[in-house]
Copies of this chain bind each other. A is one copy, B any other.
């Protein structure tokens, strides 16, 4: 049984220009992993219509789920909703249910629901709304694409709202063992171990802290017994853990 797969599409010039450090990818990756869904690819594209449409189509055809972040606000550079609709050839306009949410929100806050804000009620025909408990303007689900905000607090709230309706696989489990030797010392026996456990993903992550080299070995998979077996083998990998530098 293979787990469902997912891709993320991050939309926004601010990430690509180095102005903003993306926070949503890291958050979504953790949430999906905890729910047994493998995040297999991430793409970051600019606020460019053809780039968004093309990436949406490719990712939607390739993976079980696609999650987008960014570009659903009220300004001229917020073009995500229209691009997602175009990617699927679905009509899009201001929708009554989304408008009602905005009308109530702006009445409550005493602000005008002007034409720019009303753009946030543009939702493709047939899409399901994603609730926004932070700032009201909804995201939406069209086909297998989940369209969410770029502001991290809103993105996280939207993810929390949809994550439990995804059909996840068996949770992806992982165990980590830390070796105080460089990767090069452990690489050969580790490669042999990885070959013996083809159903597990065994990753090696070097680190250097205060001049000391070390390696974290992370064993991932959905079969806890298999992971335990690999960890036992791993613990016998280095008869004497020496304090080699890399």
- Say yes or no: B17 contacts A29, CB within 8 Å: yes
Stretch at the interface among A68-76, A92-100, A138-146, A227-235: A68-76
Task: Map CB proximity to B onto A23-48 as digits: 1 under 8 Å, 0 otherwise.
Answer: 00111111111000011111111110
- Copy number in this complex? 2
Stretch from A83-91, A107-115, A160-168 at the B interface? A107-115
What separation, in Å, do the CA atoms of A185 and B43 have in the docked complex? 31
Q: Is the CB of A114 within 8 A of B184?
A: yes
- Chain A contact-residue range equals 35 or more
Of B201, B206, B245, the residue contacting A73 (CB under 8 A) is B206
In whole Å, how far is A58's beta carbon from the nearest beta carbon of chain B?
10
| A32-B44 in contact (CB<8A) | no
Per the bound structure, the CA–CA distance linking A31 and B116 in Å amounts to: 34
Instruction: Check A194–B77 contact: CB distance below 8 A.
Output: yes
Which of B20, B40, B191 is close to A76, meaning CB atoms less than 8 Å apart?
B191
Give the complex CA separation of A207 and B111 in angstroms. 17
Which residue of chain B has its CB nearest to the CB of A10? B42
Chain B residues with Cβ under 8 A from A43's Cβ?
Answer: 41-44
Closest Cβ–Cβ distance, residue A75 to chain B (whole Å): 4
